[in-house]
Structures are given as structure tokens and as C-alpha cells.
Amino acid sequence: MHGDILTPLVMGILLGGLYALIALGLSMIFGVMRLINLAHGDLVVLGSYLSYALLSYFGLDPILGLIITIPVLFGLGFFIQQFLLKRAFAISAEAPLIIAFGIALIIQNGVQIGFSPLLRGITTSYSMASFNLGSLQFPVSYLLDFIVALIVMLAFREFFTRTYMGRAITAASQNKKAAQLMGINTKMIYGFAFGLAMISAAIAGTFMGMTFPFTPVSGTQFLIIAFGVVIIGGLGSLLGTFLGGLILGLVQTLTAYYFGSATQMLFVYLAVLIVLAIRPQGLFGR
Amino acid sequence: MSQDIILKIDRIDVFHGTFQALWEVSVEVRRGEMLALIGANTAGKSTLLDTISGLLHPASGSIQFENHDISSADPYRIVELGITQVPEGRGIFPEMTVLANLEIGSYTKRARANCAKNLKKVYKLFPRLEERKKQIAKTLSGGEQQMLVIGRGLMSEPRIMLIDEMSLGLAPIIINEIFRTLKTVRESGITIMFVEQNVRKSIQESDRAYILENGRVVLCGTSAELCEEDKVKKAYFGI
């Protein structure tokens, strides 16, 4: 039986990568704009439905479909920030949260009208396949998720540390006035940052959709996962998000292995509570 | 605009919400000079600098910078044109390294091309910054942070540098060292306008000064002229 622990171990790590990818956008927006984007989970699901639609109606492979879903979600994110949230920030500290909540509702109901409440899944030739590691078998989709998560996080890290735009976003999140005084157009920067978070949501949604079935209300689940990841890993830290995801994934699969799959989410929430109690800013939080 | 005057602030009124912070304030800044802005805490000095930088906009009056009307310009535009502010409280990017802080100073298109060249110049002025270039900014001492933000300001290739309350919390030795460095900066052709709490120091280090009181300009003149003013003597030197 001992050899079997390798299965949940590997699955937990692979799953953790996907969880980190889902949480990435939430972590970023909080890090840059101090906003808890309650619509984040639903925006990820929107990415899932967009990929699904491109596959169903045009037969477009979801990975290729990213060429369309990424710009669409980037534009949507930019629009949400520039035309809705920016005004909300000027009204009060709570207004953006309410707007985000409203956006979540609109998306949920929108996709329900468009796609019905039925369970959907993005199925391709490879999404159902499995691969072998020695004598064990794993779903290809899980591996794909992990690799993509790694690529996206590394890409984001390079962007934030090496490009002027990325550094400008980082600077603006640390001292907005000083950033303005350095010639950074903070009016545009936040829109761009939100758009970036949406790019990660588009990718997360697409791969999530290939791994698990989803419905219009899956967004809430995703949001809870994202919250769990950032609470454990700490908001605003790329490394923290990645490790938080891994921990969450491992807790889920290992407890399912030892205690049965009915209890896995219970232990995940327990883990989140423990971290909140001992180190509320998360393992790597600021 | 006369060739001598690089920045002309003409009778501006500036409000914070409904509270009027500046009343018909007029200031002329001459090319290459070291100009001091003196006044008590509520006099409106920071408000004036923030208005020049575009963070606030005057309700009436105008601000002209080398034949551009910048009264309603966005802050980033004003930096592009050539006015950089070193804000009150230093304004470091605390979690970024010294080097990253300096490099972000070259953000504007104009300054980006010369980033490496300007970095060398800043290191020459402030060797301590080069020593600590990999250090996280928030771990620097107060004096080093002040040097960092002045260096960062220089990276943007300003024609005018505004410095707000540079010496807060710094030891006199450091303050003098920084003022000496500012003299070198001035010699390279940059105009400097600074706000200082220490009146004696301000008049000592500047060519000319404006004194603000409750949002109005009450006195202006060369250091020599101001030292003669009874008002200045009584209020600030206790004579």
C-alpha cells in the first residue's frame, strides 16, 4: 500500500499548480490595488465558458483558443477597472467590493442564460488521456495544468522584475504618489494590471475547464480555492501563491488518501483556519 | 516669458476639497537658481509643490513652464516635460532594491535611453548608493534614503527639481553633506526649488526665497534682502 502514496503526492502537487494559477489573479489585484476582487472566481469561469464556446461552435482547440480568450479577457479587465472600479474607488473603500460582487452576479447569470445550468466540460483528445510514471497512472490534464502554471508564474515574475511597465506597477503598489512623481501614468497602470490578472484568469479557466467539469456557479468554488491559496501563501507574493497552491493541493489529496474523499475539503478549510490563526498574513505575506 | 524665468506661477488659488490652501500665489523661478520656500507647517508649501507637479490643479490662475501651460496637466506629463519632485517623507519604494528604485527614476521615455549613463553619474554623486545597490530600500538609514530619492529624481533628467522637506529627521552632518551635493547638481544646470523647515539653513543655502504664511506669499527676495527684513528677523531669528 505504501507505494500508493506516491499517487496522491504527485496529484497534490500537480493540482496545487492549477490552484496557484487560479489564485494568481486574485493575489495580483490585491497586491497592486488592495482590492479583494470578489468577481475573480466568476471571471475564471468566464474564461472556461469562452474556451468551451470556441470549441463547441468553431471546433477551436482550447489552447489555440487562448489567442482569442486572452485578449478578450484582458480587454474586459481593462474596461472593468477603467470604467467601473476607478469610479468606485473614488466613492468609498467598500464601493469597489460591491461592484465586484455585482460583476460576479452578472457573469453567473449571463453564462447561465447563454449555456444553461448544465454541467459542461472542455474535452479534447488529450484532456482525457493519462500518462505513466513507472507503474502509476496520472491524467495528462493535471500535468498540463502544472506546467502551464509554472510557465505563467515565471513569465509574470520576469515581467514584474525586468520590464519598465512591470516595475512601474510594482512601484505604484508600494507608493502611488512617488510613482506618479516618477512619470508613471497611474491612471493607466491599474487598468493594465487588472487586464494582466484577467490574462491569468483566462488561462486558468481554460485549463480548469479541461480538468474538471463546471457550471455557472463554479465561480464561487474557484473563489474559495483562490482565497484558501492566498491565505496560506500570503497575498501579493508570487512565490507565496505558488507554495500556497501546492500546500492546498497536497492537503486535499493526502487527506483524501488517508481519510476518504468526503473529508478532503474539510481538511483544506481546517488548514486555512490554522494558518489564519497562527500567521494571518500568510507564509510569505507582507 | 523672459529668458531668465523658467517657471512662472501666476496668482493661483488651490483648494483641498472646500478648504482653500493657496490664495493668489505667484512665484517666479529663474533658470539655474537655488530657490527656497519657507513657512510654517500649514503655510501651504507642500500644496504648492504638489500643484506644480500636477497632483493638484489650481482653481484659478496659471502655471507656465518654459512656454508650456501646465496648469491642468497630468503628473506624468509634467515629469516628461522636466519637473521632478522629491516628495515629503522621501517616497522610496520600500520593498524594491536601491538599484530598482534608481532605475524606475528613468521611467519617462526621454530618460530611459540614458539610464545607464545617468546611473553612473548618480553613483558618482552618492557613492554610498552604489555600495548598497542590492539592498532593499526600506533597510537604508534616513540619510541614505534621502540620497536615494534625490538620486532617483536625477535619473529622470529634470530641468527643475522640487525637494520637499529634505532634512526632516536627519543629522546636521548629513544635511550639510546633501546640500553640498545639491550644489554640484546645480552646477550641472538643474534649477532647484526646495522646501525647508529650518529657516536659517534655507536662507543660507538659497539664492532667493519665498516666505509663505497661511497660503499666501508674504515675502520674497534674495537671502541678503531677507536677512534685513525685520519681520524675518523677529519671527525666525528671534531678534
Q: How far is CA B135 from CA A165, A190, B104, B120, in A?
A: 22, 27, 15, 18
User: Given B105, B140, B157, which residue is the final one in a domain?
Assistant: B157
Please say if the pLDDT value at position A228 is more than 60: yes
What ipTM goes with this model?
0.91
Q: Write out chain B residues lying below 8 Å of A176, CB-based.
A: none
| A29-73 pLDDT, tens digit each | 988 888 889 999 999 999 999 999 999 999 989 999 999 999 999
Mean pLDDT throughout A225-250? 89
Cβ-defined contact of A178 to B100 (cutoff 8 Å): no
Per-residue cell: B53: 507637479
Identify the burial level of A229 via C-beta atoms within 10 angstroms of its C-beta, where 0-12 means exposed, 13-18 middle and 19 or more buried. buried
- Residue B219 sits in the same domain as residue B230: yes
Residue in chain B lying closest to A173 (CA):
B93
Q: Using an 8 Å Cβ cutoff, are A237 and A286 in contact?
A: yes
Question: Are residue B31 and residue B61 in the same domain, yes or no?
Answer: yes
- Its CATH architecture, for the domain A2-118+129-278, is Orthogonal Bundle (1.10)
Here the cell at position A265 is 475539503
Name the residue of chain B whose CA is nearest to A182's CA: B105
Model pLDDT, residue B231: 67
What is the three-class DSSP state of B29?
Answer: strand
Query: Cβ separation of B93 and A171 shorter than 8 Å?
Result: yes
Q: What is the DSSP string of A165-180?
A: HHHHHHHHHH-HHHHH
Q: Is B158 on the interface with A (CB under 8 A)?
A: no
Instruction: Give the chain B residue nearest A175 (alpha carbons).
Output: B93
The grid coordinates of residue B78 equal: 509634467
Sort residue A234 into left (φ over 0), alpha (ψ -120 to 50) or beta. left
Could you tell me if B10 and B99 lie in one domain? Answer: no
Among A171, A183, A286, select the one facing B80 at the smallest CB separation. Answer: A183
Give the cell for residue A137.
Answer: 497512472
* Domain stops at, among B139, B157, B175: B157
**Contacts B87 to A, Cβ<8 Å:** 177-178, 181
State the pLDDT at residue B3. Answer: 62
Contact A181 B84 (CB under 8 A): yes
Q: C-alpha grid cell for residue B153?
A: 529624481
CA atoms within 13 A on the CB side of A32: 27
Say if residue B236 is in the same domain as residue B168. yes
Contact yes or no for B108 and A175 at CB 8 A? no
| Residue from B77, B86, B93 to probe the interface with A (highest A Cβ count within 10 Å) | B93
> Using CA atoms, how far apart are residues B8 and B2, in angstroms rounded to an integer?
10
Task: Please state the rounded mean pLDDT for residues A91-118.
Answer: 92
pLDDT recorded at residue B168: 86
Q: Which A positions 146-205 lie with beta carbon below 8 A of chain B?
A: 164, 167-168, 170-171, 174-175, 177-187
Q: Are residues B226 and B164 in the same domain?
A: yes
* Local confidence band at A1 (pLDDT 50, 70, 90 cut-offs): very low
Out of A164, A175, A187, whose CB is closest to B107? Answer: A164
- Give the residue on A whose Cα is nearest the Cα of B162: A181
A182 → closest Cβ in B74, B95, B156: B156
Are B73 and B130 part of one and the same domain? Answer: no
Over residues A245-256, mean pLDDT: 92
**Overall domain count for chain B:** 2
Mutation target among B95, B102, B109 for the A interface, most CBs of A within 10 A: B95
Nearest to A178 among B80, B87, B112 (CB): B87
Chain A residues with CB under 8 Å of B92 CB are: 175, 178
Whether residues A182 and B103 touch (CB distance < 8 A) is answered with no
Q: What is the pLDDT of residues A197-216, one digit of tens each?
A: 999 999 999 999 999 999 99
Nearest to A183 among B76, B86, B96 (CB): B76
B73 and B107: one domain?
A: no
Calpha distance B57→B72 (Å, rounded): 6
Give residue for cell 474539510: A266
- Chain B contact for A92, CB < 8 A? no
For chain A, give the mean pLDDT: 90
B67 and B16 within one domain = yes
Cβ of B80 under 8 Å from any chain A Cβ?
yes
A167 → closest Cβ in B53, B55, B100: B100
CATH of the domain at B204: 3.40.50.300
Same domain, B27 and B56: yes
Of B84, B93, B111, the CB nearest to A174: B93
> How many whole angstroms separate alpha carbon B206 and alpha carbon B183?
10
pLDDT for B229:
76
Contact residues, chain B, for A167 at CB < 8 Å? 96, 100, 103-104
Q: Are residues B62 and B119 in the same domain?
A: no
Distance CA B122, CA B149 (A): 11
Min Cα separation A180/chain B (Å)? 6
Determine contact: B89 vs chain A, CB below 8 A. no
Q: Are residues B166 and B65 in the same domain?
A: yes
| CA–CA dist B190, B157 (Å, integer) | 9
Contact A14, A138 (CB under 8 A): yes
- How many Å apart are CA B175 and CA A267, to the nearest integer? 57
**Residue-range definition of the domain harbouring residue B116:** 89-157
How close does chain B come to A244, measured CA to CA in Å?
21
Residue spans of the domains in chain A: they are 2-118+129-278
- Confirm if A282 and A230 have CB atoms less than 8 A apart: yes
The residue out of B105, B135, B157 marking a domain boundary is B157
Q: 3-state DSSP call for residue A216?
A: coil
- Residues of chain B predicted below pLDDT 50: 239
Question: Which one of A171, A183, A187 has the shortest CB-CB distance to B96?
Answer: A171
Whether residues B33 and B101 share a domain: the answer is no
pLDDT reported for residue B190: 95
Subunit contact A185:B74, Cβ cutoff 8 A: yes
